[in-house]
Structure 1
Amino acid sequence: MLLATALLIIGLLLVVYSADRLVYAASILCRTLGIPPIIIGMTVVGIGTSLPEIIVSVAASMHGQIDLAIGTAIGSNIVNILLILGLAALLHPFTVHSDILRREMPLMLIVSLLAGCVLYNGELSRIDGLFLLALAVLWLLYIIKLARLAERQGNDSLTREQVEELPRDGSLPVAFLWLGLALIIMPVATRMVVDNATVLANYFAMSELTIGLTVIAIGTSLPELATTIAGARKGEDDIAIGNIIGANIFNIAIVLGLPALIAPGAFNPQAFTRDYGVMVLVSIVFALLCWRRKRQIGKGAGLLLTGGFIVWLAMLYWVAPLLVE
């Protein structure tokens, strides 16, 4: 059990590291191709924060572990809001300045609600997968349009912060080196994660869904944690909140969509009856915090969110052993 835990942690760290290097390499390649930095920041980097979840969900689906993949998608959204945003708000209150974020937030809620249409019957189909991936494409086209508009106007705080965070150095050979290493590390790391998550689920008599919701979701959300806390410490409030909004949309559209294409079929119904509602609820709370008149997420809200995470985690692990099949 200790060995499986250690290998799982190492695997998660390798997934996160290889995803970070892949985004770094992709950013250099896009810059070399002449793609505007603002487009890179809102697309490549945006997808990059959800890349660990995407990698793990694809690997789990290819091994027939659909519950692990779905748990990762739903759990990551819950973790991003309750734990990551909560911890960051405790360190530094956030103020939402960006008009882009206020336009993105309703879309996050809409995508979250549309996920219910896919999950309600306890089965994923390839049509569901195509539908979700189509949402991802539409979302990418929309944020590219927003990025071009912001580039012309030059007055949105989110886009300025994203451009400032892009790598300014690095050559093509360096980019290809990191790209190659990332593509070598990723398959090994994801196999470590999936295999050892299964071992732990069996050892503790918990469902793969619960492991995905918690252990895998927390581990794969490390990029969002690092980005959000770094943004909070630098005073880059909009990029911190924007990363969570973008990651949550990609988690539903891609992290949930790809497993539906790869391994369609029935999944644990608790993903909808128990966990989906929690995800929607915390998403609504997140939106209300951003839409308040002061547009500030302070330490009180941070305490509320982190407290909610602890309660959710405690309830999940108290109920899960009784419900595991």
Structure 2
Amino acid sequence: MLLAIAAVIVGVALLVWGADRFVDGAASVARNLRVPPLVIGLTIVSLGTSLPEMIVAAMAALDGNRNLGIGNVIGSNIANIALVLGITALIIPLAVKSMTLRREMPVLFMITFLAFALMSDGELNFMDGIILAISLILLLIWITSIGLKDRHDPLVEEFTESLPEAMTMGQSVMWFIVGLVLLIISSRMVVWGAVEIAQYFGVSDLIIGLTIVAIGTSLPELVASIAGALKDEADLAIGNVIGSNMFNLLAVLAMPALIHPGAFAQDALMRDFPIMLGFTIALFVVSFGLRKEGGVINRFEGGLLVSGFAGYLYLLYLQSV
């Protein structure tokens, strides 16, 4: 049991670090091949926000465990809004510009309802995975078009300002390979440890994906959001969460559909997905405020988000004992 817990903790840490090295290497290779920095930021770096979740979901699916990956998607999206933005708002209130809401929140809602529609029959099949993959490509094209028109959009700034420093081609390839190897090894550790913990406590893999794995893979968003807020870049914190949730629902959810299609635990659809949608609506409500120029996620609302997350974890506990 202690070995399984250690595998998850160490695995998540290596997963996050390996994802950063992989993205840095891939972005630097592209830069050395003279790909425009804007395109690199809006493709390679943007996908990197959900890379830990993608690799975990892929490895779980390869093991025939699609519920762990699906739980990771839904749980990460809930944690991003309730835990990440909630804690960030407790530290410093987050002012949100209306452009973020008008442009990006509707797209997040569209993607959320698309995912629900694909999951509504109780299974994720290969065609669902194809639809998610095509939607991901369309999302990347849309974000790139925004970047070409407005480089100060919060979602665009979040990705383009995260470009790594220039490296030689040799260094770039080295970090690309190192990151890839670490991603494979660490994701295996996380999946193995998570399954062992689930079996030990007699809970489902879905629950472990919704909690331990989801919170672990959401830690980078927490660090990035707090750092952005402390630099008085609240819109970057919001953009970080919105962007991550979009990519989770498209790129990560596509993994079990493409690799191991089939039926999944109905609790994910009947209990967890509506709660995720509820938190997404709550994000819109607390962000919008009553002013045309936007709203503020204050400390009280941040406390409500964190309390809501605690309540959700308690609900999962009650239903798993």
TM class by smaller structure:
over 0.9
Decide whether the 8 Å contact of 1:133 with 1:258 is kept in 2: no
Distance 1:190 1:158 in 2: 27
Aligned AA (2:236):
I
* Equivalent residue, structure 2, for 1:274: 271
Aligned to 1:193: 190
CA–CA distance in structure 1, aligned partners of residues 287 and 39 of structure 2: 24
Aligned partner of 2:113 in structure 1 is 113
Question: Contact 1:122–1:266 (CA<8 Å) still a contact in 2?
Answer: yes
CA contact under 8 A between 1:136 and 1:253: conserved in structure 2?
A: yes
What code does the residue aligned with 1:296 have? V
Question: In the aligned structure 2, how far is the partner of 1:157 from the partner of 1:315?
Answer: 34
For 1:53 and 1:253, the matched residues in 2 are separated by: 11
Equivalent of 1:239 in 236, 261, 267: 236
In the alignment, structure 1 residue 256 sits paired with structure 2 residue 240 = no
2:203 maps to: 206
Secondary structure of residue in 2 paired with 1:295: strand
Aligned position for 1:139: 139
Alpha-carbon shift at residue 193 of structure 1 (Å): 0.8
Give the C-alpha shift of residue 100 in structure 1: 5.0
| Deviation per residue, 1:2-45 (Å, 9 max, x gap) | 11101111111111110011111122223223333333333322
Q: Deviations over 1:34-70 (max 9, x none)?
A: 3333333333222111100000000000000011011
- Is the 1:102–1:291 Cα contact (8 Å) retained in structure 2? no
2:47 equivalent to 1:50 = no
- Could you tell me which residue of structure 2 aligns to residue 166 of structure 1? 163
C-alpha displacement at 1:145, in angstroms? 0.5
SS in 2 for 1:64: coil
Query: What are the residue-to-residue correspondences of 1:84-123 with 2, within 5 Å?
Result: 84-97=84-97, 99-100=99-100, 102-123=102-123
Match of 2:29 in 1: 29
TM-score, length-scaled by structure 2: 0.94
Cα deviations across residues 73-98 of structure 1 (Å, max 9, x unaligned)? 11110010000111111111111237
Aligned residue pair count: 318
8 Å Cα contact 1:76-1:220 kept in structure 2: yes
Q: Which amino acid aligns with 1:189?
A: S
Deviations 1:200-225 (A, max 9, x none): 00100100000000101011112211
User: Given that residues 72 and 217 in structure 1 are in contact (C-alpha distance below 8 angstroms), is that contact kept between their aligned partners in structure 2?
Assistant: yes
Task: Provide the secondary structure at the position in 1 that maps to 2:97.
Answer: coil
Q: Which moved more, 1:156-165 or 1:68-77?
A: 156-165
Task: Provide closer, same or farther for how the CA distance between residues 268 and 157 of structure 1 changes in structure 2, counting only shifts above 3 A.
Answer: closer
Distance 1:102 1:38, change over 3 A: farther
Distance 1:102 1:33, change over 3 A: farther
Contact kept in structure 2, 1:83 and 1:305, CA below 8 Å: yes
Could you tell me which residue of structure 2 aligns to residue 66 of structure 1? 66
Structure 2 runs not aligned, ≥5 long: none
Structure 1 residue runs without a partner (length 5+)? none
TM norm structure 1: 0.93
* Contact 2:21–2:176 under 8 Å retained in 1: yes
**2:170 & 2:98 partners in 1: Cα distance?**
36
* Most deviating of 177-186 and 164-173: 164-173
Bigger mean CA deviation after superposition, 169-178 or 298-307: 169-178
**1:160 and 1:282 mapped to 2: Cα distance?**
24
Secondary structure of the structure 2 residue equivalent to 1:121: coil
Counterpart amino acid of residue 123 in structure 2: E
Q: 2:177 aligns with which of 180, 183, 199?
A: 180
Kindly report the root-mean-square deviation, in angstroms, between the aligned alpha carbons of the 2 structures: 1.6
Q: CA deviation at 1:180?
A: 1.1
